Amino acid sequence: MGDLTRLSAAALAAALAAREVSAVEAVQAHLDRIAAVDGDVHAFLHVASDAALAAAAGIDAQRAGGEPLGPLAGVPIAIKDVLCTYDMPSTAGSRILEGWIPPYDATVVAKLRAAGLIPLGKTNMDEFAMGSSTEHSAYGPTHNPWDLARTPGGSGGGSAAALASFQAPLALGSDTGGSIRQPASVTGTVGVKPTYGAVSRYGAIALASSLDQVGPVTRTMLDAGLLHDVIGGHDPLDSTSLAESWPSMADAARRGAEGGILSGLKVGVVREIAGTGAGFQAGVRTLFEQSIGILAANGAEIIEVSAPSFEYAVAAYYLILPAEASSNLARMDSVRFGLRVQPSDGPMTVERAMSATRGAGFGAEVKRRIILGTYALSAGYYDAYYGSAQKVRTLIQRDFAAAFGVVDVLLSPSSPTTAFQLGSLVDDPLAMYLNDITTIPANLAGIPGASIPIGLAPEDGLPVGLQLLAPARADARLYEVGAAIETLLEDRWGGPLLAQAPALNTAKEA
């Protein structure tokens, strides 16, 4: 079979089903890869070697016994450390939860296990998903496999880097303002944020409950669709879960890959996030414009649309998110679970223990956002800040509705730049926040979005991503069109971008 770590999840699943390879062999190959390169990449916070091999042996026994198995049974997967796992630490990248093992699985993790996927471990992330570079992890930064001196994006840089360095064929991430799509863009991988409510958030350690969404991190749109089919659907444990049936996203991706659907497709380019602003890298703009031209040459009708409220999206987001984070993180109180720090002087009271624990356990970025959110919710400022931000959110939703009244899908760059140098923005929060300028509007509106690699920027040879957006509940359209674009653009470089990258293996090979 050659190098099992280089197979797509779909190809590996087919080999497993045909008994050309065992689940134990597949898991061991990925564990060997982790041992070889993760010392350089630092994609994982915890590797569950023994449990993964034991689970793989169980799948092999079921398959040998003729038991019916899911289409991804035996395929390894990495899990962002924001998701609760009953048998592995779940830290959300924070010292305040160091070593904490939840008593239950997140719904999506339980679905993975039931479908026979094999968890390899937990991936690194910005603390409580607050960041765009994975530098705010309390356990050290993750490095981009394309260039170890650069960020893999954030907050889910660990999951994206694990995929880009072939340490896992699949991963789960969470996307609050771009934390799946932006890392996918800068690592040359695929990331999908489903419609809000399409995938359960139960057991996802909450950052901003009205924005958070769990989704697939993969190397192809078909792999993303296969994983989405496993984790999607209604969950009565999540009060925001949509109670409706969904078509197969994998089938939608297969239809798109067959071609022909771009002819007559109305593709909108949002003027406000089309890559023409001052903060957009020239190479990102060039590849985006070339991609639009290729779509037009293949029958798509390109229509420029305007969404004037997008100008205020970042400002609104950084009031709504901190306000919800301030509320959600109040549970980190030193009493119920996690870290407890003894006050340095004076009596031990709940208030003093809480103050000492939160002071020691939270990082600088988390503290910054809690303070901002608490202020935005305080008496006398609620209407001026949080209330006004929610009004902007409504305007953004209306702009999307107007746009989708004219076009079928929307396109923009996934990120304004390629991967930036580690340390270059960590002391400039505003510059860091602007990395999500193109992705934030989709979270505010609750619509699905995906990032698809479209090539390497000519000035630095690093990956660039194309963001595809579809109307709420039209996730199947996202996969269908996304797979069509992926297939079309892959012809430019003769196959998947990651397989062609000479700089990919700067991390030490096995």
Structural domains of the chain, count: 1
The average confidence (pLDDT) of the chain is 94
Confidence check: pLDDT of 48 > 60: yes
The terminus-to-terminus CA distance of the chain in angstroms comes to: 17
Residue type, 436: D
CB 409 within 8 A of CB 483: no
Burial of 304 (0-12, 13-18, 19+ CB in 10 A): exposed
Residue 47 has pLDDT above 60, yes or no: yes
Q: Which residues are catalytic?
A: 80, 155, 179
Q: What is the pLDDT of residue 491?
A: 73
Backbone angles phi, psi at 215, to 5 degrees: -160, 175
- Residue 195: CB partners within 8 Å, gap ≥ 6? 213, 242, 446, 447, 448, 472, 473, 474, 475
- Which ranges in 298-428 belong to alpha helices (H)? 313-328, 350-361, 364-377, 388-404
Is the model's pLDDT at 508 over the cut of 50?
A: no
Residue 412 included in any domain: no
Which residue reads 């990120």 in tokens? 415
Q: Are strands 190-193 and 171-174 parallel, antiparallel or unpaired?
A: unpaired
CA–CA distance, 105 with 172 (Å, rounded to integer)? 14
Domain presence at residue 337: no
What local confidence, expressed as pLDDT, does residue 502 receive? 47
Least confident span in 182-191, 210-219, 328-337: 328-337
Using alpha carbons only, how large is the chain's radius of gyration in Å? 22
Q: Which two tokens stand for residue 329?
A: 């993180």
d(CA 210, CA 413): 24
Residue 220 included in any domain: yes
Q: CATH number, domain at 42?
A: 3.90.1300.10
Per the domain annotation, does 92 fall within a domain? yes
Confidence (pLDDT) at 501 = 57
Q: How high is the pLDDT of residue 506?
A: 43
- Is the residue at 44 inside a domain? yes
Residue 474 lies inside a defined structural domain of this protein: no
Asked if 217 contacts 170 with a C-beta cutoff of 8 angstroms, the reply is yes
Among 39-43, 307-311, 345-349, 376-380, the minimum mean pLDDT is found in 345-349
Per DSSP, helices labelled H in 232-331 are: 249-257, 282-297, 313-328
Closest CA to 241 of 194, 205, 191, 207: 194
Rounded CA-CA distance 425/415 in Å is: 15
What the block records as the tokens of 21 is 């390879």
What phi, psi does 343 have (nearest 5°)?
Answer: -55, 145
Give percent above pLDDT 70 in the chain: 96
Give which of 197, 163, 199, 157 is closest to 180, Cα–Cα: 157
Give pLDDT tens digits for 142-178.
999 999 999 999 999 999 999 999 999 999 999 999 9
Quick one: which H or E segment has residue 479? helix 475-490
Q: How far is CA 406 from CA 268, 309, 393, 413, in A?
A: 8, 17, 21, 20
128: DSSP letter: G
**Rounded to 5 degrees, what are φ and ψ at 278?**
-65, -30
- The strand pair at 118-123 and 44-47 is best described as antiparallel
Which among 228, 231, 114, 147 is positioned nearest to 480, based on CA atoms?
A: 228
- Answer whether residue 509 shows pLDDT above 50: no
- Bridge partners, 44 (sequence order): 123
Q: Is the pTM of this model over 0.85?
A: yes
- pLDDT for residue 234: 98
Q: Which helix (H) or strand (E) holds 59?
A: helix 49-64
Residue 460: C-alpha distances to residues 109, 274, 419, 421, 424 (Å): 37, 21, 10, 12, 16
Mean pLDDT for 291-314 is: 96
What percentage of the chain carries pLDDT values higher than 90?
86
Full residue range of the structural domain in which residue 61 is found:
22-259+483-506
Q: How far apart are the C-alpha atoms of 83 and 122, rounded to whole Å?
A: 9
Query: Which tens digit of pLDDT belongs to each residue from 419-460?
Result: 999 999 988 888 899 889 999 999 999 999 999 999 999 999
- Of 388 and 379, more confident: 388
Per the domain annotation, does 467 fall within a domain? no
> Does residue 190 belong to any structural domain of this protein?
yes
DSSP 286: H
Which pLDDT belongs to residue 507? Answer: 41
